Amino acid sequence: MKAAVFVLCVLLACSLAGVPSLAEESQDGLFTEEEQEYIDRGETLKVGYVRDRRPVSFQGKDGELTGISRFIFDRIAEISGLKFEYVELPEGDVTYEYLWQEEFDLVTGVEYNKENQMAKGILMSDPYLSSRKVIAANDGLSFKPDASYKVAISTGSQTIKKVIRAQFPNFELVDYPTIEACFDAVYRGEADLLMQNQYVVEYWLYKPIYKDLVVIPVMEMSDQLCFSAVTPLVDTNDEVWRQKELQISIINKAIGRMSDGEVAGYIIAATLENMYEYTVLDFMYQHRYALILLVIASVLIGVLVYVNVAFRIRAINARADAKAKGDFLSAMSHEIRTPLNGLISLNYLMSQNVDDREKITEYLRQSSTAAEYLLSLVNNVLDMSKLQAHELELEQKPVDLGLLFGTVESVERVGMESKGIRLQADVELSWPGILGDAIRIQQVLLNLLDNARKYTGQGGSVTLTARQSEKEDGDILTKVQVADNGRGMSEEFQKKIFTPFTQERKTVSQGNQGTGLGLSICLLLAERMGGSLSVESKLDEGSCFTFLFTAKPVALSQEADPDGLDADGGGEEKKPKILIVEDNELNGQILMELLEGEGFEVLHVENGKKAVEAFEASGIGEFGIILMDLLMPEMNGFEAARAIRGLDRADAGKVKIFASTANTFQEDREKAFASGMDDFITKPIDIKELLKKLHI
* C-alpha closest to that of 458 among 420, 511, 512: 420
505: pLDDT confidence band, cut at 50, 70 and 90? very low
Same domain, 120 and 135: no
Of 122-136, 259-273, 359-373, 482-496, the range with the lowest mean pLDDT is: 359-373
> Would 199 be classed as within a structural domain?
yes
Sign of the alpha-carbon torsion through 640, 645, 646, 651: positive
Same domain, 198 and 229: no
Backbone torsions φ then ψ of 228, nearest 5 degrees: -135, 135
Exposure string of 109-121, with b = 16+ CB inside 10 Å and e = fewer, is: bbbbbeebeeeee
> Would 282 be classed as within a structural domain?
no
pLDDT at 575: 81
Residue 320 has pLDDT above 80, yes or no: no
pLDDT at 2: 40
DSSP H stretches of helix in 138-193: 158-167, 179-188
> Would 506 be classed as within a structural domain?
yes
Helix (H, G, I), strand (E, B) or coil at 197: strand
CATH number of the domain where residue 439 is located: 3.30.565.10
pLDDT at 506: 45
Same domain, 305 and 198: no
> Would 566 be classed as within a structural domain?
no
Q: How far apart are CA 433 and CA 414, in angstroms?
A: 27
Angle between helices 666-674 and 637-645 (to 10 degrees): 30
Domain count, the chain: 5
Same domain, 602 and 645: yes
Residues sharing a CB contact under 8 Å with residue 613, sequence separation 6 or more, in sequence order: 605
Same domain, 124 and 59: yes
> Would 107 be classed as within a structural domain?
yes
Residue 351 C-alpha from the chain's centroid: 22
DSSP H stretches of helix in 354-418: 357-388, 401-418
Mean pLDDT across 478-499: 86
Residues sharing a CB contact under 8 Å with residue 507, sequence separation 6 or more, in sequence order: 454, 455, 487
The two beta strands, 602-605 and 577-581, are parallel
Q: How far apart are CA 247 and CA 107, in angstroms?
A: 12
> Would 587 be classed as within a structural domain?
yes
DSSP H stretches of helix in 258-287: 260-273, 280-286
Same domain, 261 and 306: no
Of 122-126, 226-230, 330-334, 358-362, the range with the lowest mean pLDDT is: 330-334
In a 10 Å sphere around its CB, with 0-12 CB exposed, 13-18 middle and 19+ buried, how is residue 597 labelled?
exposed
Domain hosting 600: range is 577-693
Q: How far apart are CA 231 and CA 636, in angstroms?
A: 48
Of 62-66, 181-185, 568-572, 604-608, the range with the lowest mean pLDDT is: 568-572
pLDDT at 581: 92
Of 5-19, 21-35, 509-523, the range with the lowest mean pLDDT is: 5-19
Higher pLDDT, 586 or 555: 555
> Would 511 be classed as within a structural domain?
yes
Same domain, 135 and 124: no
Same domain, 653 and 628: yes
455: pLDDT confidence band, cut at 50, 70 and 90? confident
